[in-house]
C-alpha cells in the first residue's frame, strides 16, 4: 500500500530514495572505519581493534557513539557562522555527489545525462569547506592547513578532471551508465592506462590521505583545518572524508574498471542484480584497498614535491592522453591503437618520475647542481 503510494508520487519517491542514501552512507562509513583500522593493522603486523564485539566489529559503532556524545566546542575567538557551517559545506556536496552515482544498471538515485560533469562540479565544492574551517577557527595551524588544502585540492582537481575527460571522450558520453555500458567488452583501463594512473594518484591526493595528507598533517599542522573541531562536527569531517573515499573508488571502478560488467561475459544475456552489485563491490573494494595500502606504505610528501609532481608531470601527461584520444577520434583509428599508445605514455611518465626521484637523491652532493625542480 505505502509502496504503491510512494511509487506513484514522484516527490515521495525521491524522498524515499534520499532517505535510503542518508541511512546507508553513514553505515557504510562506520563499517569502513573498522575495515581501515583492520587492514592497516594487518599491513603493520598488528591486529587492529579486537575488543569491542567479535574481532572488534562494533568498534565503529562505539566510536560513533563516543563522537556524538562529546561536547561540541567552539573557540571564543572563532568566526561563529563560518566555523559552524564549514562541516556542512564539506558533507553536503559529498552527499549530493552520491545522488548521481549509479550502483548497477537499474539501481541508482538519479541517472543524470551529465552525471560525470555533475559529479566533478559538486565534489569540487568541498574545498570551500576546508578554507572555511581553516579561516573560521582563528588558529594559525588551521589556517595553514586550509591554505594547503586549497592549494592541493585545486591542483589535483585538474589532472583528475582531465583523466575523467579522457574517458568521456572515448565513450562519447557524460552519462555514467552509458560509459559503463560502453565497456562491455574491454574496460577502459586497457585503452586508457595513462589516464588510469593519473586518476589513481590524483584521486589519492583529492582524498588528502597519506602520502598526500599535507593539509591535515598531524606532525606539521596538528590536524590542519580540523584542529579546533570536536564531537559531532569533527565526525562530520570524518564522514565526508570516508564518503569521498567511497565515491572516488566507485567512480574509478565505473569509468575505468567497467563498473557492474562481468569480465569475459560470464553471464550470457542479463546479469542478475545481485551479481552486478557484487561485481561493483569487488571493484570498489579493490580501489579502497589500494588507497589503504598506499596509506600504510608511503611516507608523506613534501609540499613542493607534491606541487611539482602535479603541475610538471601529471598535468602534461593528462593533456598528452587527451591529445592521443583526440587523434584517434579525429582520424577514426580503431580503439585498439590506444592500448600501445597510452601504455607507452604511461611508461614514459613512470620513467620521468623515476629519473626525477634519482636526481633528487644526488642533489646535495658537493659540486653537483641541479635546477630547483623535481623533474
Partner 1 sequence: MLGVLKAIQTTVKAALRRPVTVQYPTEKKTLPHRSRGLPVLLWDFDISEPFCTGCQVCARYCPVDCMTVTMKDNPNFAAGKSKRKKIVDKFYIDYARCMRCDICVEVCNFDAIVMNNTWQGVELSRYDRQDLVMDLPALLRQSKTGELETPFREPMGVAHSGWAPKMDEEEERAAEAASLEKHHGTSPDKPSAPTPTADPTAEVPAGSQARTERATAEAPESHAQAGEGGTAPSAGQKPAEAGEGPEKEGGEG
Residues that bind partner 1 (CB under 8 A): 41-47, 50, 293, 296-299, 350, 353-354, 356-358
Please state the closest distance from residue 134 (CB atom) to partner 1, in A. Answer: 30
Nearer to partner 1, 256 or 309 (CB): 309
Nearer to partner 1, 48 or 146 (CB): 48
Query: Which residues, 6 or more positions from 101, have their beta carbon under 8 angstroms from its beta carbon?
Result: 108, 109, 115, 119, 176, 247, 250, 251, 254
Nearer to partner 1, 277 or 296 (CB): 296
Nearer to partner 1, 41 or 181 (CB): 41
Nearer to partner 1, 113 or 297 (CB): 297
Nearer to partner 1, 265 or 286 (CB): 286
Please state the closest distance from residue 47 (CB atom) to partner 1, in A. Answer: 4
Please state the closest distance from residue 201 (CB atom) to partner 1, in A. Answer: 11
Nearer to partner 1, 75 or 316 (CB): 316
Exposure string of 17-41, with b = 16+ CB inside 10 Å and e = fewer, is eeeeeeeebeeebbebbbbbbbbbb
What Cα–Cα distance (Å) separates residue 124 from each residue in 130, 155, 195? 11, 11, 19
Please state the closest distance from residue 159 (CB atom) to partner 1, in A. Answer: 18
- Residue 102 is classified by DSSP as B
Q: 211 preceded by cis ω (within 30°)?
A: yes
- Residue 314 is classified by DSSP as I
Which residue, among 349, 364, 358, 291, has the nearest Cα to 40 in the 3D structure? 291
Nearer to partner 1, 186 or 353 (CB): 353
Which residue, among 303, 322, 375, has the nearest Cα to 156 in the 3D structure? 303
Q: At how many degrees (to 10) do helices 193-206 and 231-255 cross?
A: 180
Which cell numbers in the block locate residue 331?
582520424
Using only the alpha carbons of the chain, give its radius of gyration. 22
Please state the closest distance from residue 56 (CB atom) to partner 1, in A. Answer: 11
Query: Which residues, 6 or more positions from 351, have their beta carbon under 8 angstroms from its beta carbon?
Result: none
Query: Which residues, 6 or more positions from 348, have their beta carbon under 8 angstroms from its beta carbon?
Result: 317
Query: In 3-state terms, what secondary structure has residue 81?
Result: helix
Please state the closest distance from residue 294 (CB atom) to partner 1, in A. Answer: 8
Please state the closest distance from residue 37 (CB atom) to partner 1, in A. Answer: 13
Query: In 3-state terms, what secondary structure has residue 108?
Result: strand
Please state the closest distance from residue 44 (CB atom) to partner 1, in A. Answer: 6
- In this structure, the number of other CB atoms found within 10 A of the CB of residue 213 comes to 20
Max Cα separation, the chain?
83
Nearer to partner 1, 293 or 333 (CB): 293
Please state the closest distance from residue 300 (CB atom) to partner 1, in A. Answer: 12
Contact in structure between 300 and 214 (CB atoms under 8 Å): yes
Amino acid at each position: 500500500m505505502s509502496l504503491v503510494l510512494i511509487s506513484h508520487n514522484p516527490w515521495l519517491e525521491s524522498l524515499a530514495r534520499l532517505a535510503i542514501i542518508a541511512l546507508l552512507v553513514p553505515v557504510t562509513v562506520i563499517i569502513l572505519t573498522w575495515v581501515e583500522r583492520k587492514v592497516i593493522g594487518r599491513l603493520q603486523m598488528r591486529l587492529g581493534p579486537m575488543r569491542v564485539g567479535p574481532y572488534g566489529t562494533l568498534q565503529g559503532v562505539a566510536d560513533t557513539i563516543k563522537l556524538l556524545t562529546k561536547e561540541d566546542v567552539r573557540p571564543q575567538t572563532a568566526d561563529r557562522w563560518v566555523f559552524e557551517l564549514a562541516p556542512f559545506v564539506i558533507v553536503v556536496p559529498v552527499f549530493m555527489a552520491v545522488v548521481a552515482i549509479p550502483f548497477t544498471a537499474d539501481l541508482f538515485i538519479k541517472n543524470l545525462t551529465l552525471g560525470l560533469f555533475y559529479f566533478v562540479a559538486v565534489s569540487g565544492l568541498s574545498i570551500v569547506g576546508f578554507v572555511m574551517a581553516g579561516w573560521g577557527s582563528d588558529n594559525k595551524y588551521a589556517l595553514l592547513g586550509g591554505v594547503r588544502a586549497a592549494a592541493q585540492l585545486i591542483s589535483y582537481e585538474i589532472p583528475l578532471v582531465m583523466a575523467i575527460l579522457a574517458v568521456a571522450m572515448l565513450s562519447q558520453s557524460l552519462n555514467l551508465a552509458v560509459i559503463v555500458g560502453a565497456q562491455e567488452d574491454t574496460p577502459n583501463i586497457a585503452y586508457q592506462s595513462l589516464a588510469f594512473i593519473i586518476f589513481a594518484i590524483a584521486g589519492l591526493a583529492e582524498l588528502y590521505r597519506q602520502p598526500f595528507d599535507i593539509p591535515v598533517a598531524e606532525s606539521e599542522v596538528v590536524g590542519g583545518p580540523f584542529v579546533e573541531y570536536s564531537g559531532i562536527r569533527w565526525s562530520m569531517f570524518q564522514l565526508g572524508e570516508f564518503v569521498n573515499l567511497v565515491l572516488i573508488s566507485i567512480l574509478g571502478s565505473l569509468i575505468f574498471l567497467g563498473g557492474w560488467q562481468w569480465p569475459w561475459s560470464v553471464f550470457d544475456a542479463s546479469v542478475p542484480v545481485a551479481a552486478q552489485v557484487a561485481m561493483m563491490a569487488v571493484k570498489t573494494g579493490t580501489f579502497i584497498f589500494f588507497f589503504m595500502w598506499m596509506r600504510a606504505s608511503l611516507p608523506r610528501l613534501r609540499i613542493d614535491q607534491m606541487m611539482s609532481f602535479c603541475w610538471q608531470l601529471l598535468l602534461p601527461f593528462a593533456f598528452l592522453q587527451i591529445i592521443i584520444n583526440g587523434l584517434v577520434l579525429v582520424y577514426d583509428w580503431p580503439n585498439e591503437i590506444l592500448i600501445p599508445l597510452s601504455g607507452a605514455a604511461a611508461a614514459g611518465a613512470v620513467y620521468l618520475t623515476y629519473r626525477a626521484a634519482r636526481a633528487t637523491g644526488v642533489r646535495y652532493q658537493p659540486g653537483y647542481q641541479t635546477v630547483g625542480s623535481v623533474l
